[in-house]
Amino acid sequence: MKKIFALLTFTLLATACDNTQETTTTQTNTTQTVSATATETASGEQAAAAPTTGEGATTIGMSISTLNNPFFVELRDGAQAAADAGSAELTVLDAQDRADKQASDIEDLVTRGVDVILVNATDSDAIVPSIMTANEAGIPVITVDRSANGGQVAYHIASDNVAGGKLAGEFIRDQLGGSGNVVELQGVPGSSAARDRGEGFNIIVKENPGMNVVAAQPADFNRAKGLSVMENILQAQPEIDAVFAHNDEMALGALQAITAADRDIMVVGFDATPDAVDAVKGGTLAATVAQKPGDIGRLGVEKALEVVSSGNVPATTENVPVDLELIK
- pLDDT tens for 202-255 read 999 999 999 999 999 999 999 999 999 999 999 999 999 999 999 999 999 999
Predicted pLDDT at 307: 98
Evaluate whether residue 317 is within a structural domain.
yes
Mean pLDDT value across residues 30-57: 37
Evaluate whether residue 310 is within a structural domain.
yes
What is the H or E stretch that residue 269 is in?
strand 266-271
CA pair distance 255, 273, nearest whole angstrom: 15
Q: Based on the domain organization, do 136 and 187 belong to the same domain? A: no
CA pair distance 76, 62, nearest whole angstrom: 8
Q: Based on the domain organization, do 257 and 179 belong to the same domain? A: yes
Evaluate whether residue 50 is within a structural domain.
no
Strand partners, 325: 290
Evaluate whether residue 267 is within a structural domain.
yes
To the nearest whole percent, how much of the chain has pLDDT over 90? 83
Strand pairing report for 325-327 and 287-290: antiparallel
Mean pLDDT value across residues 172-184: 98
Residue-range definition of the domain harbouring residue 144: 59-158+294-321
Burial of residue 13 (number of CB atoms within 10 Å: 0-12, 13-18, 19+): exposed
| Per-residue pLDDT reduced to its tens digit, 102-138 | 999 999 999 999 999 999 999 999 999 999 999 999 9
Predicted pLDDT at 56: 80
- Does pLDDT of 151 surpass 50? yes
Q: How many domains does the chain have?
A: 2
- Closest listed residue to residue 221, CA positions, set 199, 191, 263, 243: 191
Evaluate whether residue 236 is within a structural domain.
yes
Average pLDDT, the chain: 87
CA pair distance 209, 231, nearest whole angstrom: 26
Strand pairing report for 318-321 and 266-271: unpaired
Q: Based on the domain organization, do 154 and 302 belong to the same domain? A: yes
- Closest listed residue to residue 157, CA positions, set 206, 121, 210, 104: 121
Sheet with 325-327, side-by-side order of all strands: 211-218, 180-186, 242-245, 266-271, 287-290, 325-327
Distance of CA 150 to the CA centre of its chain: 21
Predicted pLDDT at 55: 60
Task: Identify whether the C-beta of residue 201 lies closer than 8 Å to the C-beta of residue 168.
Answer: yes
- Closest listed residue to residue 53, CA positions, set 91, 84, 78: 84
Burial of residue 44 (number of CB atoms within 10 Å: 0-12, 13-18, 19+): exposed
Distance of CA 201 to the CA centre of its chain: 25
Mean pLDDT value across residues 258-281: 98
Give Rg (Cα) of the chain: 29
Kindly report the number of other CB atoms within 10 A of residue 121's CB atom. Answer: 29
CA pair distance 120, 95, nearest whole angstrom: 9
Q: Based on the domain organization, do 314 and 170 belong to the same domain? A: no
Evaluate whether residue 265 is within a structural domain.
yes
Q: Based on the domain organization, do 275 and 166 belong to the same domain? A: yes
Q: Based on the domain organization, do 142 and 172 belong to the same domain? A: no
CA pair distance 233, 240, nearest whole angstrom: 9
Q: Based on the domain organization, do 255 and 197 belong to the same domain? A: yes
Q: Based on the domain organization, do 166 and 222 belong to the same domain? A: yes
Q: Based on the domain organization, do 219 and 309 belong to the same domain? A: no
| Alpha helices (H) in 177-241, listed in sequence order | 192-207, 223-236
- Indicate the SS3 state at residue 131: helix
Q: Based on the domain organization, do 274 and 311 belong to the same domain? A: no
96 to 69, 103, 186, 243: CA distances (angstroms): 10, 12, 18, 26
Q: Based on the domain organization, do 259 and 113 belong to the same domain? A: no
Evaluate whether residue 115 is within a structural domain.
yes
The CATH number that applies at residue 147 is 3.40.50.2300
Evaluate whether residue 200 is within a structural domain.
yes
Sheet with 89-94, side-by-side order of all strands: 89-94, 59-64, 116-119, 141-144, 155-158, 318-321
Q: Based on the domain organization, do 97 and 212 belong to the same domain? A: no
